[in-house]
Structure 1
Amino acid sequence: MDNSKLISRSLGALCLIAIAIGVLAGIFSWLFRLLIAIIHNAAFLGQFSTQYDANIHTPASYLGWMIIFAPVLGGLVVVFLIRNFAPEAKGHGVPEVMSAIYHKRGLIPGNVSIVKALASAITIGTGGSLGREGPIIQISAALSSFVGRLAKVSVSQRNLLIACGASSGIAATFNAPLGGILFSIELLLVSINSRTVLPVAIAAVISANVGHYLIGDEPAFYIPALFGADTSKGVLISLLAIPLGAIIGLFSMVFIRSIYFAEDLFEKIPVNAYVRHMIGTLLLGAMFYSIYLQFGHYYVQGVGYATIQDTLTNVISHPGFLLFLLAAKVLATGLTIGSGGSGGVFSPSLFLGAVLGALFGNLVTLLFPGSGVNPVVFAVTGMAAMVSGTTSAPLTAAIIVYEMTRDYNAILPIMTAVSVAYALRRHFMKGDIYTLKLNRRGQMIPEELVADLGSHVVINDIASRNIVFLSEQDMTASDKDFACITEGGKVVGVVDLHSSHLDHEVPVQSLKKKHFVVLRPGTTLTAAIAQFYQEKRDIALISRSGNADQDAVIGVISSKHLIDMIGDVTATLR
């Protein structure tokens, strides 16, 4: 794309575009859920229907034992779509969005939305143990990138629109607009201020409202009141959230490593992508059918929301079975995504957190029956802590789960656990489930946002005033930084005397004059660097009039000086 045709739009225009993105993302989230429902009902029930409540266990398939082949057949179609139309659709989606922002100038191919929707819907609908949130984020981000290209916005604004799309996807699928906003703030936005957060917020709120109309305004999970009127156990529960957060922080590392271990393991199998995925999905199908025969439900197939719902209503409470589900979900997710499936890891993280939290809570009640604590509190807290540990988005995790529970009293143990889980995982493992994939490709993602001090440092504060004005017939002295060569009251060239390595006076005409740019006082360090780059110069005059009049020049600055200043600014941030 020709950058000269790109336009930096006003905040008002960006907000209008954000409204459109919010509407489209809400509609696409709804359509994606319908597509999953159609495929799931066809594969498991043998009927065409758009009615599918993921929070209710799927009944026994009409195929009987042959249901183990449903993910295999679906997987063959998924591999075909990904290999032939959009390789970016493979995997869990969010890393590709981050890569587009930080390494691809906000460009996501337009076909990614369609291929990702189809591939992920087939993977999840035929029993793949992945979530729909990652795909919705990538679908909405790809759509936003396309809208940004249509509007011909600048690269930075295109990246902002991608964040709008991602937040919209989260807001619509979870009915959690605040969580959607925080997701972009913590993971996607390159800079954070009112001009960037406002469009994201507008897009998320619009998308959530569209979701209310098309999907419903109920929270993602039904959770009974955790405390009710009795909040006396709040301190005890918050204290217990500390060891729970520590356990989940350590387990989040196990889950992250398991994902990439599975990918590496399947890559080593000396067969083509189709056979590789057939092996993984056949093992998956056999696994969830065996679980059905033994326990009456498939439990680990699909998004796993029904199992999460069971932990949140304490239907599942036996520690041994909870421990089994924990191991089974890690294995099922690894088989699905490691062999080449398409879907998100957000839902598996919620699943594992809910199960591990429920396990912790039920052990507490068994060991201390007089404590009177509700195990469901720990299941809810575990969901947030696991998302925090795996994604490096603790605030997003806390607020999304809070928006699910709608119980303010739960926020204290949740915040405690997410903080501990994130801090512990971050101490032992720098990368998270998203950035580790990019780091393995050699694509680094900033770990934090810092203030752009370069936009507040002005060059007249740092420019050298140790200059001398000379004509070409004069001799120059070595005790100055720069010599401005003048002719008729105008500066026609600049000599960097330090770079000339003078140890005595020499004729000015024997020195090489350098071309320069002219900058006004008040120009920021960031703007000066851009001017140097644009005009291919490495010396600038600082002039009150904005031209090369000798009387208006107040200083000189070189590109080397700017580099030194950047080093000083960077050092202050360490």
Structure 2
Amino acid sequence: MNKTAQIKKNHQFIVFRKLVIVSVLIGFLSAFLGISLKKITEYYEEIFFHQVTVNPIFYVLFPVFGLSVIYFLRQYLFKKKENKGIKEVFESTNSSSKNLPSYKIPSHFINGLLTVIFGGSTGIEVSTVVATATIGSVAQQKENVFRKYKTELICAGVAAGITALFSSPIAGILFAVEVISRKVTRAFIITNVIAVSIAFGLLSILKEEHLFTVSITTWHLKAIPYFILLGILAGINSVYLTRCVLFFKSQFGKIQTHYYKILIGSVILSVSLFVFPQLYGEGYHSIKMIFGNSGELPLTLTLALTFIGILILKPIVTSVTLASGGDGGVFAPSLFIGSFLGLLVASILNTFFNTQVIPVNFMIIGMAAVLSASIHAPFTAIFLVCGLTNDYTLFFPILAVCLISKYTAKMIYPYTVYTYSPSFIK
């Protein structure tokens, strides 16, 4: 081997070693951030939700207080910059000059937490994604050798963060591929596999439990036509969610005085939460409740109207939360909408058509289907929902329904909240 080849080989080994080390650091820090935000949010959301059930006046006070605190933090602590969500990550990966500034880590962590615990009808997933992407972005700025691996290191942070939230390393990597990177390189595989392995290892050490504990026994071939119906309905609902977010952001964007946005948003949020407390925060507490009672809920007119009201209002209150200054995205709302949609469809089929389908199966498939259609990432949705329940019994029906829901949504409206730009034809 000549001297030039030896030097090149040594350089490649040094780069590989540095990539491994930085991927371990990104994986640990991103997972630690994701787990911390999840645990803190769960703890305080439970406390505050209990308070509003005891004293309904907090339905009025919490939203306006939370949105006001977020506004003042942005004004006086976080450089007066609006959070753009995952679009910030796209801007960074698509540009060699734009980087995610380090203040995005505490900004999204704190604002995501405050949004959810004070009743904002969204989740911490997008806050986690942007914060962990920033960890990767800051890491790649530290050494010149990492500059050409910018997208890979940002994706490593994102993948580790998703792994921490949903206990699914495969979902973490697939989200990074389907939504952020759109391509796979050797460096991508190295950095992301290491990062999610570290994240999953930390989850194992901390003995983190899966978000939902459900008992899935089987599924029947006779249910396939009904699964297809659910996929189509999930696609339609996801478009409704996307259009709501875009519409309310556009309308609130016309309001010049920011505090008017907060007041209008708080009024809409407070009234909606008072009528349907299930809309409070992430809504995972409501999903857990209906998981536990799904087989025992007879479909009455009141219950059907409640489900329909929730499905109509959830996209609106999510949109208003985001448009009036809250920090979050469509991950948790999609899972929430999918679970209630699945249960409603199963209940109608069993009550009026005596199909004897399994409601819990429809809830789980519905969660994956709406998420798939909302972010146009079916494989992420499949492994994410299977990771949430720690059960792969429904893998094949989920796969089919996720593809149906995604392409139904794309036929109706080709954009997601991540890919839409005002410059596109509406």
CA deviation after TM superposition for structure 1 residue 212, in Å: 3.4
Q: 1:135–1:343: 8 Å Cα contact kept in structure 2?
A: yes
State the 1:31 CA deviation. Answer: 2.4
Whether the aligned pair in 2 keeps the contact of 1:166 and 1:184 (CA below 8 Å) is yes
Amino acid at match of 2:244: S
1:407 maps to which residue? 391
Q: Which of the numbers 15, 21, 31 marks the counterpart of 2:26? A: 21
Letter in 1 for 2:83: K
User: Which of the residues 83, 96, 109 maps onto 1:90?
Assistant: 83
Q: Deviations over 1:135-167 (max 9, x none)?
A: 111111111111111233443312211000001
Change (3 A) 1:196 1:324: same
Matching residue of 1:309: 288
- For the structure 1 residues 39 and 89, does the alpha-carbon distance in structure 2 shift closer, same or farther, using more than 3 Å as the test? farther
Partner of 1:419: 403
Q: Distance in 2 between matches of 1:106 and 1:202?
A: 25
- Read off the aligned partner of 2:226 and give its amino acid letter: L
Q: Does 1:223 align with 2:214?
A: yes
Amino acid paired to 1:23: F
Q: Which residue is 1:116 aligned to?
A: 108
The equivalences for 1:46-125 within 5 A come to: 58=50, 60-61=52-53, 63-84=55-76, 85-86=78-79, 90-91=83-84, 93-103=85-95, 105=97, 107-125=99-117
Task: Tell me, in whole angstroms, the C-alpha distance in 2 between the residues paired with 1:385 and 1:31.
Answer: 28
Percent of residue pairs identical: 25
Q: Deviations over 1:64-97 (max 9, x none)?
A: 4144111101111111223442566525x22211
Do 1:36 and 1:125's aligned partners in 2 also have CA atoms closer than 8 Å?
Answer: yes
What does 1:184-263 correspond to in 2, within 5 Å? 184-189=176-181, 191-214=183-206, 216-227=207-218, 231=219, 233=220, 235-263=221-249
Among 156, 161, 169, the alignment partner of 1:177 is 169
In proportion to residue count, which structure has more strand?
Answer: 1
Task: Specify whether residues 38 and 272 from structure 1 end up closer, same or farther in structure 2 by C-alpha distance, changes over 3 A only.
Answer: farther
Contact 1:144/1:161 (<8 A) preserved: yes
Q: Is the 8 A contact 1:23 1:206 kept in 2?
A: yes
Equivalent of 1:343, from 320, 328, 336?
328
Q: Structure 1, residues 384-443: CA drift from partner, whole Å, max 9, x if none?
A: 11111010111000111122233332012111110001111122322112111xx2268x
Are 1:397 and 2:381 an aligned pair?
Answer: yes
Are the equivalent residues in 2 in contact too, given 1:76–1:278 (CA < 8 A)? no
For 1:130 and 1:398, the matched residues in 2 are separated by: 21
State how far apart, in whole Å, the 1-side matches of 2:198 and 2:144 are: 23
Structure of larger gyration radius: 1
Distance 1:430 1:103, change over 3 A: farther
Higher helix share: 2
Write out per-residue CA displacement over residues 109-137 of structure 1, whole angstroms, 9 at most, x where no aligned residue: 11011111111111111111110111111
Give the distance between the partners of 2:352 and 2:306, measured in 1 at CA.
17
Aligned equivalents of 1:86 and 1:440: distance in 2? 25
Q: 2:132 — aligned with what?
A: 140
Alignment match of 1:362 (pick from 321, 333, 347):
347
- CA distance 1:412–1:37, shift in 2 (3 Å): closer
Unpaired segments of 5 or more residues in structure 1?
A: 1-6, 45-56, 292-297, 443-574
Give the drift of 1:200: 0.7
Q: 2: CA distance between counterparts of 1:86 and 1:352? A: 35
Name the CA shift for 1:194/1:58 in 2 (closer, same or farther; >3 Å).
Answer: farther
Cα contact 2:372–2:381 (8 A) shared by 1: yes
**SS in structure 1 at match of 2:417:** coil
Scaled by the length of structure 2, what TM-score is found?
0.88
What corresponds to 1:280 in structure 2?
Answer: 265
Q: Compared with structure 1, are the counterparts of its residues 62 and 428 closer, same or farther at alpha carbon in structure 2 (3 Å cutoff)?
A: closer
> Where do 5+ consecutive residues of structure 2 fail to align?
1-10
Q: Shift of the alpha carbon at 1:186?
A: 0.9
Cα pair 1:238 1:416 within 8 Å, conserved? no
Alignment: residue pair count: 406
Pairing 1:409-558 to 2, within 5 Å after superposition? 409-436=393-420, 439-440=421-422
**Preserved contact between residue 26 and residue 156 of structure 2 (Cα < 8 Å):** yes
2:373 matches 1:382: no
TM-score (norm 1): 0.67
Change (3 A) 1:193 1:237: farther
**Structure ranking higher on relative contact order (CA contacts 8 Å, 6+ apart):** 2
